[in-house]
């Protein structure tokens, strides 16, 4: 039996389904789900709402906060799933400072599918083609040694099942 806490990351650009899939994954492994968007600074939220992409400096404190959450949950022996864009390899490295054995699910989708999903959103600070283009430009896709890559067109339950199977996670 694995006694070390699970530290899971559901990553992808906006509109990929990180929150929905992350919640389903957390339920499947009896973990707590945290949406990284809830930990952005007010300045970053305002910047994105104005249609201005975040830069590395904007994201640094946010990523350190998320790494601390991973570290705190591990120290308490609790399983955690965080939904976070984690666009760049160095961002994921910051997260691994708090979770060295981080399991990553990368939700991949075409620009067309992502734009359709974003167009159907209401009440979220991140909208618009310009913002998506910025994230797609920044995205450094993880390879198969870093993450399990799954297509967002699959049913959410299938994505969770495939990720757990391919990651060898049994809870």
Q: Divide the 171 residues of the chain into consecutive groups of 10 and give the mean pLDDT of each group.
A: 83 94 98 95 86 88 97 97 97 97 97 84 56 90 97 97 94 67
pLDDT at 171: 67
User: Under a CB-based contact definition with an 8 Å cutoff, are residues 71 and 98 in contact?
Assistant: yes
Bridging pattern class, strands 80-83 and 103-108: unpaired
Rounded to whole angstroms, the Cα distance separating 46 from 103 reads 31
**Residue 28 within any structural domain of the chain:** yes
Rounded to whole angstroms, the Cα distance separating 98 from 47 reads 27
Query: Crossing angle for the helix pair 111-119 and 129-138, nearest 10 degrees?
Result: 140
3 state SS of 12: coil
**Residue 1 within any structural domain of the chain:** no
Element (H, E) at 9: strand 7-11
Q: What is the CATH number of the domain that holds 97?
A: 3.40.50.300
**Residue 143 within any structural domain of the chain:** yes
Sorted by sequence, the CB contacts under 8 Å of residue 68 that are 6+ apart come out as 98
pLDDT at 120: 57
Count of domains for the chain? 1
**Residue 90 within any structural domain of the chain:** yes
Single out the residue of 34, 12, 20, 35 nearest to residue 114, CA to CA.
Answer: 12
**Residue 95 within any structural domain of the chain:** yes
* Full residue range of the structural domain in which residue 155 is found: 7-167
pLDDT at 104: 98
Q: What is the pTM of this model?
A: 0.91
Q: Positive or negative, the Cα torsion across 111, 112, 115, 116?
A: negative
pLDDT at 124: 46
pLDDT at 128: 60
């Amino acid at each position: 039996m694995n006694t070390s806490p699970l530290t899971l990351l559901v990553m992808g650009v906006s509109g990929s389904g990180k929150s929905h899939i992350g919640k389903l994954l957390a339920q499947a492994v009896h973990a707590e789900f945290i949406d990284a968007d809830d930990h952005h600074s007010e300045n970053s939220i305002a910047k994105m709402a104005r249609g201005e992409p975040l830069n590395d400096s904007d994201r640094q404190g946010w990523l350190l906060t998320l790494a601390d959450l991973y570290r705190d949950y591990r120290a308490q022996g609790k399983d955690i799933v965080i939904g976070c864009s984690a666009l760049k390899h160095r961002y994921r490295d910051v997260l691994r400072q708090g979770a060295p054995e981080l399991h990553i699910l990368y939700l991949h989708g075409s620009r067309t599918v992502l734009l359709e999903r974003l167009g159907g959103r209401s009440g979220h600070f991140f909208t618009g083609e310009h913002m998506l283009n910025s994230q797609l430009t920044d995205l450094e896709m993880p390879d198969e040694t870093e993450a399990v890559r799954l297509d967002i067109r699959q049913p959410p339950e299938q994505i969770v099942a495939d990720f757990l199977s391919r990651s060898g996670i049994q809870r």
